[in-house]
Amino acid sequence: SGDSEDSSISEEEKKAIADMAAKEAKPFSIADTMVTLATRAGFGDYQVNAAMGLAKSLGMNPRECASMIVEKIRPKIEDFMEEPEIAGPGFINLRFKPEYLTSVVEYMASDPAGRLGLPKVSKPQKIIIDYSSPNIAKEMHVGHLRSTIIGDTLSNLLSFSGHDVVRLNHVGDWGTQFGMLVEHLRDEYPAALSLETSQDVDLGDLVELYKAAKKRFDVDDEFKARAREGVVNLQAGNDEEIAAWQALCAASRVEYQKIYDMLGIKGLQERGESFYNPYLKDVVEDLESKGLAVESEGATAVFLEGYTNRDGTPLPMLVRKSDGGFNYATTDLAAIRQRVEMTSEDGGERANRVLYVTDAGQAQHFDMVFSAAKMAGYVPEGSSLEHVPFGLVQGEDGKKFATRSGDTVRLKDLLNEAVRIAGDDLRARTENENVPDDVIDQVARIIGIGAVKYADLSMNRESNYRFSYERMLSLNGNTAPYMLYSYARICGIIRKASGQEVVANIKWPEASKITITDESEMELIRSIVRLPDILTEVEQDLYPNRLCDFLFETSQKFNKFYESCSVNKAESPEVKSSRLTLCTATAGTIRLVMNLLGIEVVEKM
Ligand code: ARG
C-alpha cells in the first residue's frame, strides 16, 4: 500500500543505503548518532530515527525505508533483542529480550566490589584535565571548590573507562601580583628573600599578607615602582625574588593541600602557570610572525573576528603588556602548545583531549584562546580543546555566597560545617546504639563531604547552584545521604541473609540465576543496565549530573522492588538467591558510581 516505485533510485542503491544505515545501528553504543537511548520507556530501550531523514533525501516512503533498515539490523541483534518495531512515521524501536537483560545483571553481580564486568575502551586516549587551579597567596574560593569536585569526577570516570588521564592543577603562581608580594616580604620578612632561609619563614595568614601588600601598592608610588621592578627581577630569575616567590608558593600549597586532604583529592599534579614561562616569548613572536598578533596601544594583541566590546569596537586578546609582561591568555596559548602540539621529545604531552574546568565567566577567554591556537596551527588533527564551564555558587537566597556578616566563606569552614551537621544528625539517630566516637566521626566525614560533592555534581553544572546545608544533608531526595543510606540498607539485607556481623568488608553472595516474579524486578534491571551508556554519555558530554540522575532513579527502582518483593522471606530458595543477586548488582552499581563521584560508601549508617 502506497509503495510507489521510485524510478530515480535503483533497488541496488536502496540496498546499499540500508546497509549503511544498519552499519550505524550498533545497539550497544550511543557513541553513534543514529541510535539514541529511547526518550520514553514506552519506546523500548533504543531508537533508530534515521529512516525518516534518509527517506526524505531519497524521496522514498519512510516506513518502507525503516523496514529495509530492520531487515539489515535483525540478524545482528536477534540474539538479544526482540523483533524491531516500526512506529509512527518510521521510528524503529528496539527492545532487549528480558533473558538478555537478566544475564547482564547476573554478570555485573559477579563482580560487585570491582568494575561490575564493565569493559575498558578499545582506543584509549590521552586526556589532560585542567582543574582546581587556585591562585597563590589568594584565598581558594567556592569556584575553585566546584572546579575541584567536577574535575575530579571527570578524571575518575575517564580513567575508569581506560583512558590515560593527566590531572593538572594550573595554579596561578606567576604574574604581576608577585612584584608587590615579594617587595612586601623584603620589608616584613627579609629572611624569605634568601634561598638558604626562605623555606623556614612562617608567613602567617597569606590572605592578610596579600591585603597588606595590595594596600601599599595602591597608595604608595615608591612601593609601586619597586613592585614593578620586583616582577622583572623575578622573571629574570634573580635569587632573592625567586626565594621569596618559592616561600609564597610553599605556604599557599600547605593551605590548599589541607582542602585536598579533606576532600580526598588524589593524583592532582601541580603544574602552575610558571611552568610555561620559558615558552611565552616564543608564543608571542610566533603569533607576530604569522600576522596574528599586532601592536595595539603599546601592547601586543590578537584581534579575532566576531569578538567586540559592548560599543562594537573590536575586542583585543592581549598577549603582551606595554611593559613587556605577558598575559593570562599568553600562558594558556603556551600551555596548548605544550599539551597538544609539542611531541614528547620536546617535552610535550600530545594529548588527544584537553578539558578546562572553570567557571562560565571564562568562556570567552577560552573561546578566544582556542580559536587563536587553531589559527596559529597549534592544534593538530586528533586533538580537541574543550572548556567545561560551570555556574556560580550562590547563597540559599540566590544572592552572593557569603557568611552572615557578608565575608567570603573559607572552604575549610564550609567543609567542617557540613561534617559537623552530619555528625550531630548521626549521633541523634544512633543515640541508643553505643556507636564508638571514631566510627561516628568517620561516617560523618563521609556523609558531610559526600553531601557537598554530591549536591554540586547533581546539578546541571552550567546552572548556578544554591548552596544549602539542609538540602544537601537531607536523607530524602537526590542527595548523598539518601544514596549512602540506600547502599547501607542493601548491605543490611545481605548481612541478614547470610548471617554476617557488621565488620569492615561485607562478603557478597555468589551471583546466581535471576528469576523474574514481579514487574518491579524487571524495572530495576532496566535501570541498572543503562550504566555503560550513561558512562559513555558523560565521557562525551561531560555532565556529571547524569550520573546522579541515574543513581537516584536506580535507588528509587530498588525501593519499589523492595516494597513489593521480600528478599529474606522469598517464596523459594531460588527466588531468594535471585533477589539477593539483584541486591548485589544494585549495591555494586551504587558503590561504583559514588566512587566515580569521589564519594566513599559506608556499610552501616
Ligand atoms: N587560576 C585560574 C582562576 O583562579 C584558573 C585557571 C584555569 N586554567 C587555565 N588553564 N586557565 O580563575
Q: Give 362 Cα–ligand 1 centroid separation in angstroms.
A: 9
Determine the Cα–Cα distance for residues 450 and 262; give it in Å rounded to an integer.
Answer: 11
Is-contact 436 444, C-beta < 8 A?
Answer: no
300 lines ligand 1 (CB under 6 A): no
Residue 353's contacts (CB-CB under 8 Å, 6 or more residues apart) are 125, 126, 127, 128, 383, 384, 386
Burial (0-12, 13-18, 19+ Cβ within 10 Å), 456: buried
pLDDT band of 29, cuts 50, 70, 90: very low
Question: 22 with 69: CB under 8 angstroms?
Answer: yes
pLDDT of residue 451: 98
Atom number, ligand 1, closest to the C-alpha of residue 362 = 12
- Distance of CA 420 from the midpoint of ligand 1 (Å): 31
Our answer on whether the CB atom of 135 is closer than 6 Å to any ligand 1 atom is yes
CA dihedral 523, 527, 529, 533 (to 10 degrees): 150
- Nearest atom of ligand 1 to the alpha carbon of 335: 10
CA distance 543 to 412: 26
Sheet of 85-87, strand order: 35-37, 46-48, 91-94, 85-87
- Give CA–CA dist 584/565, Å, rounded: 15
In this structure, are residues 157 and 593 in contact, taking their beta carbons and an 8 Å threshold?
A: no
User: Where does the pLDDT of residue 28 fall: very low under 50, low under 70, confident under 90, or very high at 90 and above?
Assistant: very low
Ligand 1 within 6 A of CB of 272: no
Whether 327 lines ligand 1, by a CB cut-off of 6 Å, is: no
The Å distance, Cα 410 to ligand 1 centre, comes to 19
**356 Cβ below 6 A of ligand 1:** yes
Confidence of residue 439 (pLDDT cuts 50, 70, 90): very high
Q: Which domains does the chain have, with CATH numbers?
A: 11-96 (3.30.1360.70), 177-267 (no CATH), 398-473 (no CATH), 476-605 (1.10.730.10)
- The C-alpha cell of 326 is what? 605577558
Give the per-residue pLDDT at 58: 80
Q: Find the DSSP H helices in 264-390.
A: 277-289, 328-336, 363-375
State whether the beta carbon of 469 lies less than 6 angstroms from ligand 1.
Answer: no
Please indicate whether residue 130, judged by its CB atom, sits closer than 6 Å to ligand 1: yes
Banded model confidence at residue 78, pLDDT cuts 50, 70, 90:
confident
Q: What is the pLDDT of residue 8?
A: 54
pLDDT at position 7, please?
Answer: 43
Contact call for residues 307 and 315 (beta carbons, < 8 A): yes
Q: Is 90 exceeded by the pLDDT of residue 5?
A: no
Q: What is the average per-residue pLDDT within 219-229?
A: 96
Give the residue, by CA position, lying nearest to ligand 1 atom 4. Answer: 134
Under a CB-based contact definition with an 8 Å cutoff, are residues 446 and 175 in contact? no
How far does the centroid of ligand 1 lie from the alpha carbon of residue 159, in Å? 23
CA of 172 to the centre of ligand 1 (A): 7
Cα(401) to centroid of ligand 1, in Å?
20
Instruction: Write the CB contacts of 147 (distance below 8 Å, at least 6 apart in sequence).
Output: 131, 132, 133, 357, 358, 359, 390
Q: What is the pLDDT of residue 42?
A: 60
Kindly state if the Cβ of 172 falls inside 6 Å of ligand 1.
yes
CA-nearest residue, atom 5 of ligand 1: 133
Cα 360 to ligand 1 centre (Å): 12
Cell numbers that stand for 209 in this block: 599578607
Reported ipTM: 0.99
249-256's contacts with Cβ under 8 Å and 24+ in sequence apart are 249/136, 249/171, 249/173, 250/199, 251/137, 251/203, 251/206, 252/134, 252/136, 252/137, 252/171, 252/206, 255/140, 255/206, 256/132, 256/134, 256/140
Residue nearest to atom 11 of ligand 1 (CA): 332
- Determine if ligand 1 sits within 6 Å of the CB of residue 133: yes
At residue 16 the predicted structure's pLDDT band, cuts being 50, 70 and 90, is low
pLDDT at 43 over 70: no
Q: Does 194 score more than 60 pLDDT?
A: yes
The answer on pLDDT for 469 being more than 90 is yes
Please give the distance, rounded to the nearest whole angstrom, from the Cα atom of residue 82 to the centre of ligand 1.
Answer: 50
How confident is the model over 467-487, as a mean pLDDT? 96
Q: Which residues pair with 126 in a beta bridge?
A: 164
